[in-house]
Amino acid sequence: MAASHLDLGCGQRPKNPYGHPRLFGVDIRSGLQIEGVERIEAANLSSQPIPFGDNQFDSVSAYDFLEHVPRVSLDAQGDTQFPFIKLIDEIWRVLKPGGMLYAITPAYPHEKAFRDPTHVNIITAKTHRYFTLPKLEARMYGFAGTFELKRQVRLHPRGAYEPEGASRAMLRVLDGLAGKRSHLLWELKAIKETASHG
């Protein structure tokens, strides 16, 4: 089957950074139908699971999305929940073994991380350690997934945020010199046990 990609918080313009032939989305709004997108499901990912099955996608993206997912909340019974950790677990769940998470978010210490009052989850250069080998520090909060950090870079988004080529690498250098690298890019690989057939 052709490779598939899921864009979280997809809005009207779902992204597909790896160019997979099958594209899906999740958005908080219902009823979105966009040409070239097989299906867009409605869900509030701060409180609901990703509405797709296990091991379904070759890649998942989150563009300017993770900063809107609360780190801590209370459920109806007043019990503490960890929506951001649950979301990263959900991403791991829907990824196939070896699948990639491609996430870009405004990050500390740049002021863009704090400017928008709906940014409730400030990401730093060390946040990935809670979800990646060897640390997996979020285990203490119930995180069950495992990721490997493939790449983390600071960048300044210039419209498209796609995987890097030579010209984008040069722009990244120039943005760094100008102090414009406001965002952090994660590429995390889902590590999963695969059942052997014999």
Residue 131: inside a domain: yes
**Which residue range forms the structural domain that includes residue 33?**
4-190
pLDDT per residue rounded down to tens, the chain (198 residues)? 899 999 999 999 999 999 999 999 999 999 999 999 999 999 999 999 999 999 999 999 999 999 999 999 999 999 999 999 999 999 999 999 999 999 999 999 988 899 999 999 999 999 999 999 999 999 999 999 999 999 999 988 765 455 556 666 666 565 555 567 889 999 999 999 865 444
CATH number of the CATH domain containing 156? 3.40.50.150
The residue type of 39 is R
**Beta bridge partners of residue 5, listed in sequence order:** 23, 59
Residue 144: inside a domain: yes
Residue 198: inside a domain: no
Residue 66: inside a domain: yes
What's the whole-model pTM score? 0.88
Residue 197: inside a domain: no
Task: Tally the domains of the chain.
Answer: 1
Calculate the dihedral angle through the C-alpha atoms of 26, 24, 162, 188, rounding to the nearest 10 degrees.
70
Residue 46: inside a domain: yes
